[in-house]
Every structure is written in structure tokens, then in C-alpha cells.
Chain A
Amino acid sequence: MIPAAFDYQAPTTLDDAVRILADAGEDAKVIAGGQSLLPVLRMRLAAPTVLIDLSRCAELRGVREDGGSLVIGAMTTHYDVQGDHLVREHAALLAMATDTVADPQVRHRGTFGGSLAHADPAGDLLAPALALDCEFVVAGMDGRRTVAANEFFVDYFTTAMAWNEILCEVRVPKYTGWLAHYEKFNRVAQAWSIVGVAAALRVDGSRIAEARVGLTNMASVPVRARGVEDALVGEEATPESIRAAAEHAAEGTSPTADGDGDAEYRTQLAKVLTGRAVTAAMTA
């Protein structure tokens, strides 16, 4: 179908965008790459009165270094994140997860910020962002505030942002030299994850010194697999130790049931994929 009629605004600065959003009220929506929003509009599951297109706000695009962190603009496309050498070097996990998102067409349009703001629990960037303790910089009429990753994702398709706030950038601490892998499990190439596991490891000699593991689609929000992390730290990475650690993967999760997987199956996947993610990271 064709979306219901809406007004269209394309501000060129973030300040304008924030003001237009505040003026337009709760029935307005910002549009980034449109890859999640347009299907919703076309199926008339939502009918915003105003669409505020962020694609002309140049300040929201690109990756830069800021001391010990990387700053990724919300409007940076998946394609640009994938190919960015700073991301590859300091936050390889994010680049790897982005590689698995959808297909090239979608990756050229869809944005880093749009994915995170959309907060689809099956989206592939949420778990890495959580595992890496990213910070979300959000702009509203009262200025900017920063939200920690573990507070940003609230529920299915729900974040800590108010209706009149815009995600402008994401700050990623540098994980230079860390090993990483994103293990995605889906049924066809361009599909979302049934379960995904994001793993980043710092290795000291032959032992795992630090571990960060996040799970995709194991609850209404991304989940940090703390039990796995704790079990890995200080261990030699042997098949046995990895398998033992991975057994903790489903702790604290509450997976949904759908045609692709019931809770039992998702639990199994979480464990198997965790083992594989850690193993792949170690051998990367």
C-alpha cells in the first residue's frame, strides 16, 4: 500500500531537527534510512503526521576519534560503518555485526543510529553495543544527555528516548587489540537473527583476561551474558573451558517463541552459538 499522507521536513542541522520535532508533536517521526520505518508506514501500521528526514544533517554522519572513544554519528550508514578503518581497528565487533545486517541494498540505506533507535530485539547491532558498553548521546529541547547502553534499551522497540529526542551519536570505548566475533543464526541470508552472539575478548598470553558477551533476540532487549564472561575470565581458551562457559549463556534470558524457535530451542542456540563465537574470536 501507499503510506497515509504526511508532511515532510528535511532540516540540515540537528538543532532544527530537534525544534521541528518538538513543534510537530508526538505524532511526528524522524526518518533515517527508512529501512524499518517505511515498511511500517506502507502497511499503515503507523501514520505519522510529519516525517523529519535526518539525511541532510551532515553533522550526524561519520566516525571520529575522541580520546579513548570512537564517536559514530547516528546517520552513518551500515555500509560506512562496515568499511570504516577506525571501527575495524577499535571496535571490530561492531563492524563484524554490521557485516551480517540484511543485504547490500539495505546496508547502503539503513543507518547505525536508526537500527539502535528502532530497538528491534532481533536487530544485530544491539547486543554488540551493549557488550561494548556504548553510550548513547541523545538531543532534545533541553540539550544533550548521555544514556548508558544498559539503560538505553527498555523493551521491544522501545528505548529510553522520549518522543521529542533524537539520537545523535554513539560513543564506543576503544577495544584496540581485542579479539571479536559476531555469530549470527538465521534462516535465509538477508534475514534477522533467530539468535545472535556478540563476543569480544582481551587475551593476555594464553589466558582470557577480559570478556564481553552480548546476546541478540534472547529477550525483549539485548542481554549481557555475564555468567559466560565470568566463566571465561582467567581461563585458558580450550574447547572444554569454552564449552563449560557457554553453558551459562541462557542465564537471565527470557526468549520469545515464534515459528523460528521456541524458548528451548533458542536456549540451545544461545549456548551453541556462544561457544562458536568465542572459539571463532580466539582463532580470528
Chain B
Amino acid sequence: MTSTAEPEVGRARLRKEDARLITGRTRWTDNMVLPGMLHMALLRSPMAHARITKIDTTAAREMPGVIAVVTGQDLAEEQGSLPCAWPITEDMKAPDAPAMAVEQVNFAGEAVAAVIARSKAEADDALESIDIDYDELPVVLDMAAAIADGADLVHENLGTNRCATWVYDSAEAGSGGAIDDAIAGAEVVVERTYRQQRLIPAFMEPRSMLVDPTGDQITMWSATQIPHILRWMTAAVTGVPESKIRVIAPDVGGGFGGKLQVTPEEIITFLMAKRLGKPVKYTESRSESLASAHHGRDQIQKLTLAADRDGTLRGLKVELLADMGAYLRLVSPGVPILGAFMFNAIYKMDAYKFVCTNVFTNKTPTDAYRGAGRPEATFGIERMMDELAAELSMDPMELRRKNWITHDEFPFTTVAGLTYDSGDYESATDKAMETFGYDALRAEQQERRDRNDAIQLGIGISTYTEMCGLAPSRVLGALRYAAGGWEHAAIRMLPTGKVELVTGTSPHGQGHETAWSQIVADQLGVPFEDVEVLHGDTQSSVRGMDSYGSRSLAVGGTAIVLAAQRVLAKARKVAAHMMECAEDDVDFTPGTFSVKGTDRGVALADVVVHAHVAHDLPDGVEATLDSDATFDPENFSFPHGTHLCAAEVDTETGRVRLRSYVCVDDVGKAVNPMIVEGQVHGGIAQGVAQALFEEAVHDESGTLTTGTLADYLVPSAADLPSFDTSRTETPATTNPLGVKGVGEAGTIASTPAVVNAIVDALRHRGVNDVEMPCTPMRVWSAIQAGGAR
């Protein structure tokens, strides 16, 4: 082991996991084959709301290769109810959520029967022989209609489609004034209603699971983001002791929150493997994935922004309807609540009120999707800032500057009650504006307007922040979330000099193996290549809270640092003993211990061996240097940045072309700038997708009409401009690495930047909104309706 001159943290290293991920020569769940393995296929309801009046599985049982056919009735005793870990209010209504529908189906795509057969093809064939009759019930699709008096009910026994109403009021919380006073006293009040369309996470690897009941323990491989939570919840749902369950998330191909779930499919596969005593595999098709894996977003936002004529913000009122779909999944009710603290964003104001009503409909359940609550909030406020600027005839950037928290005001406690530890909105914005060429673009915009060009130009701004590093356990407790937000790491110093880092985070494409190795290499002074990162297996990674909410680095990375510090603390004792000096006289430079002021030293590698063989350890020191640590953050982290988008709008066809996209993000210290950039690129792509391309559409019977990737338009590189990304680095003050998180930043920032650009291009034609996704037809229709030709 030698000390590396150049620190690893900050190096744009190629990702060590990429070769196997890109070639697919790895353990994707569906690649795995076990002796005697059976295959499952699920029959899904084509109806969005119906009573099951008959299911006859006789013919299916007779089909070749079929081992078993089960219905919800057959599983009723064992399947329990799928967990919802976030009862946001005391009186929240939560329907029973069976993994397989028993008497009634509540969304199209819900599982109603399973076939287990010797091959996948035989299982698929047998599905068609199941005879099932439905009695249709009225379908509830529209949120406003769902909560009106006399509405048809999704769940008759709940007596209402209102799930819960959650309120944050700055006057009550003591973080600001009363919103009604602020609005009444304001010189300008802007009111808008925005729709956050329903989105589908559309991860590349479909959900896949394999459950092996052989032996005394049941092992479940699953393409999940949350092996630890899945193990816990599977035990809770099925009654099988947690100690008898091992969950492994092998390599996982994307999630975006879509695999932050305890799915019906996992529970059904688990129960069937247990019942049959044989390994059972289930891998969904793309269409099943689009229809039945949880969806995201789907909110109606009514926003009221109050300000003075000079642009000073007075207050913001947010009234939301959030579509839960038919059931509450793991964190469904809490997703909009994560936005409650972000609508005020980087701005100062006197008063703030947030009221969210969660609503049941006969659609696929919604839950976390990249950004979860925060993109909705950022979209809302960043669109409103542009609307207010237009109302005041003020430059939209000027309005933002006037109201944002200045660099010298940090730490700053916001009107929503959070304390932002750090930030430098001025630097990020200045840098972005310069690269973007703001003034020249404004001049071109004017010129195109003047000559009434068919192509109009718009500039979209998004000066976002977000809360990352989910989450301080105390805060989660106060928000009635059922679990903690800490993270765990263990370092095993192997006698051969190699290092195993066991993390409780669960990467599914983010590059943790590389970034975590860089952190360990710096902390201990070992070569990057010598670090092996282990994750995703509850038997080796015994404790963890998994990956979501841009938490892995800010929380999990900190746990790594703490574990490394414990390794070194112990090593220092052993080194002192080896060098026959007092512990206080030991110096550590990465990789080597030495006696202060002498040239006597001992390499960390030798200390490792010494501690491992334990032939001669000081009294009271246990064998090996292995150490672990659990970190619970005291605060969230707050990445921020400025995204600028120039969009050309073809007024004859409504097509939007993004001409340039510049962003400066401040995610604190970048452990691996290349990974940061990758996350920003992918994030922007996904945010642009919401602005321009993607929407889960249901017809009036509740059938998903965007049920294939030919209809649900996930953009590719060919549909996106090249992004100009750069960074400022204002270290977070709340963790030793100074990191903030970057998994969601691009998605959160880019959607309003794009829509603001479109509206900006057309405002002189009487357009002040285009509903997302801004399809060519919608843009063209908005121009026609604007009427200012």
C-alpha cells in the first residue's frame, strides 16, 4: 500500500462496474437459473374497476407444463396487505392492499391470477385458459370529480375517495406569517393552476424476481432499489420471520424510484415459492411494467403568489390534489409532502401555506419517481416566478435575484421551516448566464418577434434547490414516516491488503462501487483498485436503508468516512504498540503510520496483518481492524443550481426544439465529476421528457393507452440537445465530505426551464401556459387560442 499523491476524491475515474453492466455479462435477476426453477406468469385485470364474479382455472391447470394456478382467493389467508410506511396523518384512509385482487379489481393491470409452470412459455400459454368474469363498477379517474359530493367510490368501505389532507402553515409552525394576511396586503397576486401529468419511471430492466425456498431460509433475488426494506416488509406482510429471509439485489438496471417498492409481484412470487417448495422466477414484460409498476407525479397544483410591485415576494399558497391511484404503496402518501418544504425554494417571503389532499382513483398506484415531490414543487414555483415577472414586466432573472437568499445569509431558515446550511446562488447564476449568452439571446428573441418569424425563441430559467440526503431520522419520525433515514457502512481489512467495503446503499446504475472506492482509498491511503464494494445482499450488508432520495453519498458516504476513521483509530493503537511509542506520538499519512519526528514507520498493510494474526496486540484491543459505523444526518443537504434553456418554437407546427441548455449545479464536493456529469445529463433528459414527451394516458374506461414504448415516448439522445454542464462547489457543512447529492438535481431543475422557455417564446402571442407534455399539437393549439397572430 502506498500513499497516493493525488487524492482520489475529485478524480473523474471511469466506473469500475461499467464493463459488466454494459455487456450484460452479470447477474441481472432474469439471467439467473436455479435447478428445478419454475416460472410464473400473471393474469392482469383489463378492467379498472370491477367485481370478480367468477374465476375458473380448471382448464389452465390442465395445460402442458402447468404446476399450479392460484387466484386471490387462494392467497387470501397468506398474502396480508402490502405495506404503506408513511401514514401522513392520524386519520389517513388506507385501503386493504392485497398483492392479488380477491373480490374486486381497482386498476387495470392489477394481478388476478398466477400460473406457475415449467417454462415461461407454458405459463404464458396457460394464462389464456383462465376463465374470468367481471361485473363492471363505475370508474373514478378525475381527482376533482372524485372528491366532489356523491362521487362514485374506489373503495366503498372507506366511504370517501379522500385519502388524507396534510397542511403546513407557516403561521402555525412559527416559521412565518399568515398567508391570508400576506395575500390581502400584497400589491400583486398571481394565481395559476398547473397539472403535473402522470409519468412512468420506465427503468430499462423490467422488474424481475427469483425466490428460492431451498433450505431453512428463503432467498429472494429481486431487481429492487431496497433490499433491506424489502426483507423487513416481506416479513411483516407474510409473517415469515425476518431472520428466515435473505434478500439480494444483484445488479439492477435502473429504478428512478420505480423500484423503491415492495411489489405485489414480489409477495406473490415469495408465497408461491414457499408453497411449492421450489424456486420460482417472475419477470414482467414491458407492457406489464408500464401498466402495473407504480407511476409517478400526477398532481393538480393551484398556486397563489403574492408580491409587491417592486417584485418583493410576500407569500405563497399551494393547494394540491395528489393522485394516489387505487392503493397506497410504500411511500405514496408522503411523496407530495416531500414537496411541502420546497415550493418556497430559494426565495425569501413572509408567509407560506401548503395544503395537499391525496385522492384515490382507479389508476395504477403512484409513488416515488425521480425527485419525488420536489420536481413538482420546483416546477410550481419556477413557473410562478416567470408569471409574476411577466405580470410586473420585469426580467425573470432580475425577479429571482431580488428574492433569493444571498450567500452571506446562510445558514438560513426558510418560511417552510428548513435550515439551508449553505449555498451560493449568485455564483452559479453568474456563471450560467455568461456561458449561456443571455443578452444576445434576448436580442435575437426581440428580433424574431419584430419580424414575426415562424420560429420564435424563448428563454427558460430555473434557479432550483432541492433537499437531499434523506433523511434525519428525527425529522422522518416527526413526519410520521415508519422508518429511519440513517445509513450504515462496514470496512473489512483483509490480511492480504485488500479492503472490503460493505455499504447499506443499493446502487442500481449510479456508480457507487467507483465513488465509494474513491472515498475509501483516500481515507485509508489504499489503492482504488484494492477496494471491493459489497452491496445489496442482506446477508453481507447486514444493515442499510438503501438508495433513493439522493441519499447514498450524503448519508451512506458519510457512514463510510466514519467507519474508516474507526479503522484508523484502532490501527493507530496497534501501530503505536508495534512501534513501541505512545499513541499520541503516532502520525498518519495515508497508508503509513510513523513516530512523530522520526523516520520510524509502519505501513497500514503491516498493521492490518498484525491486527489480524493477533499474536501480539495491546491489552484491550480486539483482533482485526474491521469497523463499522452508522450515520444519521442532522439535516438535509441542499444542492442548487441555475439551469437555462433556449427553445425554438415552430409556430406553424408547434414543434419545440431545444437549441441550447446550460446548467451550473452546486452539488457540493464532487467525489467523481464524471459520475456527477452523467447524473446531471440523465436527470435533465428525464426532466425534459416530462416537459415535452412523456405522459401516462388513460382512456375513459381507465385503460392505459400508452402501454408500450411506442406510445409512451421516452426520448433518446437524438431528441435532446447537447448539454453544457458545469459546477460551482460550495461544500455542505453538514457532513465531512461536504457533499450534497446529485441523483435528482437535473430532473428537478430542467422541467420548468423548458416550459418557461416555451411560454417565453409565445408570451407576446397571448400564451401564458402550455400543459405538459408540451406536444406539438398542444403548443400549436395554445398559439391558436392565444389569438395574437
CB pair A269 B653 closer than 8 Å: yes
Interface flag for A161 (CB, 8 Å): no
Given known pairs A260-B775, A265-B781, the reply for A5 and B121 (CB within 8 Å) is yes
Cβ B710 vs Cβ A268 within 8 A: no
Residue A261 at the chain B interface, CB threshold 8 Å: yes
Which of B331-339, B582-590, B712-720 lines the interface with chain A?
A: B712-720
A39-B693 Cα distance, complex, nearest whole Å: 22
| CB-based contact B718/A185 at 8 Å | no
Cα separation A94 to B652 with both chains bound (whole Å): 26
Residues of chain B at interface, number, CB under 8 A: 30
A39 / chain B contacts, CB cutoff of 8 Å: 708, 710
Cβ of A189 and Cβ of B653 under 8 Å apart? Answer: no
Which parts of A170-228 form the interface with B (CB within 8 Å)? Answer: 185, 187-192, 194
A residues in contact with B775, CB < 8 Å: 187, 259-260
A188 contacts B693, CB within 8 Å? yes
CB distance from B710 to the nearest CB of A (A): 7
> Residues 38-77 of chain A: 1 if any B CB is under 8 Å from the residue's CB, otherwise 0?
0100111000000000000000000000000000000000
Q: Does B427 sit within 8 A of A, measured CB to CB? A: no
Report yes or no: B777 in contact with A262, Cβ–Cβ below 8 A: yes
Across the interface, which residues of A come within 8 angstroms of B653, CB to CB?
185, 268-269, 272-273
Closest to B121 in A: A2
Contacts of A260 in B (CB 8 A): 775-777
The answer to whether B285 and A187 touch across the interface, beta carbons within 8 angstroms, is no
Instruction: Let me know if B780 and A265 touch, CB within 8 A.
Output: yes
Contact A2/B718 with A185-B653, A260-B775, A261-B777 known, Cβ cut-off 8 Å: no
- A4 within 8 A of partner (CB): yes
The residues of B that contact A284 with a CB separation of less than 8 Å are none
CB-based contact B719/A189 at 8 Å: yes
If A190-B716, A261-B777 touch, whether A272 touches B125 (CB-CB below 8 Å) is no
Beta-carbon contacts under 8 Å, B262-320 to A: 285, 287
Q: How far, in whole Å, are A188 and B713 apart by their CA atoms in the complex?
A: 7
Is B287 a contact partner of A43 (Cβ separation < 8 A)?
yes
Chain A 157-171 interface residues, beta-carbon cutoff 8 Å to B? none
**Residues in B whose Cβ lies below 8 Å from that of A187:** 693, 713, 775-776
Q: Which residues of B contact A192 (CB under 8 A)?
A: 710
Contact A188 B716 (CB under 8 A): yes
Kindly provide the distance from the CB of A104 to the nearest chain B CB, expressed in whole angstroms. 11
Q: Which residues of B contact A268 (CB under 8 A)?
A: 652-653, 780
Q: Are B125 and A4 in contact, CB atoms less than 8 angstroms apart? A: yes
B-facing mask of A235-277, CB < 8 A → 1, else 0?
Answer: 0000000000000000000000001111001001100110000
Set of chain A residues within 8 Å of B719, measured between Cβ atoms: 188-189
A interface SS class? loop
Q: List residues of chain A with CB within 8 A of the CB of B777.
A: 260-262, 265
B452 within 8 A of partner (CB): no
Kindly report which residue of chain A lies nearest to residue B780, judged by CB atoms: A265
A262, B124: Cα distance in complex, Å:
37
CB 8 Å contact bits of B683-709 with A (1 = contact, 0 = none): 000000000010001000000011010
Q: Does B120 contact A (CB under 8 A)?
A: yes
B434 interface residue (CB < 8 Å to A): no
Residue of B285, B655, B697, B710 near A191 (CB, 8 A) is B710
- The answer on a CB contact under 8 Å between A188 and B781 is no
Q: How far is the CB of A209 from chain B (nearest CB, A)?
A: 28
How distant is A120 from chain B, measured CB to nearest CB, in Å? 11
Of listed A44, A259, A273, residue having the most chain B CB within 10 A: A259
Contact with B along A1-45 (1 / 0, CB 8 A): 110110000000000000000000000000000000001001110
Asked if B128 is an interface residue, CB under 8 A from chain A, the answer is yes
Q: What separation, in Å, do the CA atoms of A190 and B719 have in the docked complex? A: 9
Q: In the complex, which of the residues A4, A5, A265 has the most CB atoms of chain B within 10 Å of its own CB atom?
A: A265
Cross-chain contact of B718 among A44, A189, A261 (Cβ < 8 A): A189
Interfacial chain A residues near B654, Cβ < 8 Å: 265
Q: Are B715 and A5 in contact (CB under 8 A)?
A: no
Q: How far is the CA of A188 from the CA of B776 in the complex (A)?
A: 11
Which chain A residues lie closer than 8 Å to B718 at the CB level?
188-190
Bound-state CA distance A76–B444 (Å) is: 47
- The proximity string for B residues 643-674 relative to A, scoring 1 for CB distances below 8 Å and 0 otherwise, is 00000000011110000000000000000000
Contact of B652 among A5, A43, A262, A272 (CB under 8 A): A272
Report how far A190 CA is from B693 CA in the complex, Å: 13
Chain B nearest Cβ from A44, distance in angstroms: 7
List the B side residues contacting A273 at CB < 8 Å: 653
Asked whether A2 and B124 contact (CB < 8 A) given A188-B693, A260-B775, A269-B653, the answer is yes
A4 contacts across to B, CB distance below 8 A: 125, 128
In the complex, A72 Cα to B285 Cα: how many Å?
37
What CA separation (Å) do A5 and B713 show in the bound complex? 31
- How distant is the Cα of A262 from the Cα of B705 in the complex, in angstroms? 16
- CB neighbours of A44 from chain B (8 A): 124, 128
Q: Report how far A188 CA is from B697 CA in the complex, Å.
A: 17
Residue-wise, chain B 158-173 has the 8 Å CB interface mask toward A (1 for contact) of 0000000000000000
On whether the beta carbons of B120 and A2 are closer than 8 Å, the reply is yes
List, in ascending order, chain B residues with CB within 8 A of A5's CB: 121, 125
How far is A44 from B43 in the complex, measured between Cα atoms in Å?
Answer: 13
Do B716 and A189 have beta carbons less than 8 Å apart? Answer: yes
Chain A residue at minimum C-beta to C-beta distance from B692: A187
A188 and B715 contact, Cβ closer than 8 Å, known pairs A5-B121, A44-B128, A259-B697: yes
The smallest beta-carbon distance between B207 and chain A, in angstroms, is: 15
Q: Which of A188, A189, A262 has the most CB of B within 10 A?
A: A188
User: If the complex has contacts A187-B775, A265-B780, are A1 and B716 also in contact, measured as CB distance less than 8 A?
Assistant: no
Enumerate chain A residues within 8 angstroms of B776, measured Cβ to Cβ.
185, 187, 194, 260-261, 265
A194 to B776, CA, bound (A): 10
From 100 to 121 in chain B, residues with beta carbon under 8 angstroms from any chain A beta carbon are: 120-121
When distances are taken between beta carbons in the complex, the residues of chain A under 8 Å from B708 are 39, 43
**How far does the Cβ of B417 sit from chain A's closest Cβ, in whole Å?**
41
CB-nearest residue of chain A relative to B717? A189
B455 to chain A, nearest CB (A): 12
Chain B residues, CB < 8 A from A262: 777
Question: Shortest Cβ distance from B661 into chain A, in angstroms?
Answer: 17
In the assembly, what is the distance between CA of A192 and CA of B655, in Å? 16
Bound-state Cα–Cα, A1 to B781, Å: 38
Q: Once the chains are docked, how many angstroms separate the CA of A268 from the CA of B716? A: 27
Measured CB to CB, the closest approach of chain B to A226, in angstroms, equals 23
- Distance, CA A259 to CA B652, complexed state (A): 18
Q: Which residue of B lies closest to A266 (CB)?
A: B777
Residues from chain B with a CB closer than 8 A to the CB of A259 are 697, 705-706, 711, 775
Residues of A within 8 A of B715 (CB): 188
Are the C-beta atoms of B693 and A1 separated by less than 8 Å? no
Residues of chain B within 8 A (CB-CB) of A194 are 776
Complex Cα distance, B290 from A43, in Å, reads: 14
What per-residue 1/0 map shows which CB atoms of B717-741 lie under 8 Å from chain A?
Answer: 0110000000000000000000000
Residues of chain B contacted by A188 (CB below 8 angstroms): 693, 713-716, 718-719
- Complex Cα–Cα for A44 and B777 (A): 32
CB of B226 to closest CB in A, whole Å: 27
Task: Return chain A residues, CB-CB under 8 Å to B714.
Answer: 188
Q: In the complex, what's the smallest C-beta–C-beta distance from A242 to chain B, in angstroms?
A: 14
Bound together, the chains give a CA A190 to CA B654 distance in angstroms of 19
- CB closest chain-A residue, reference B776: A187
- Scan B123-139; emit 1 where CB is below 8 A from any A CB, else 0: 01100100000000000
Chain A residues with CB under 8 Å of chain B are 1-2, 4-5, 39, 42-44, 185, 187-192, 194, 259-262, 265, 268-269, 272-273
For the complex of A and B, the 6 pairs showing the least CB-CB separation, nearest first, are A189-B718, A2-B121, A272-B652, A265-B777, A2-B124, A188-B713
* 5 A-B contacts (beta carbon < 8 Å): A43-B287, A43-B708, A44-B128, A188-B719, A268-B780
Residue numbers of B with Cβ under 8 A of A are: 41, 120-121, 124-125, 128, 285, 287, 652-655, 693, 697, 705-706, 708, 710-711, 713-716, 718-719, 775-777, 780-781
Q: Could you list 10 further interchain pairs (A-B, Cβ under 8 angstroms) beyond the known A189-B716, A259-B775, A261-B776?
A: A2-B120, A4-B125, A4-B128, A39-B710, A185-B776, A188-B715, A189-B719, A265-B776, A265-B777, A265-B781
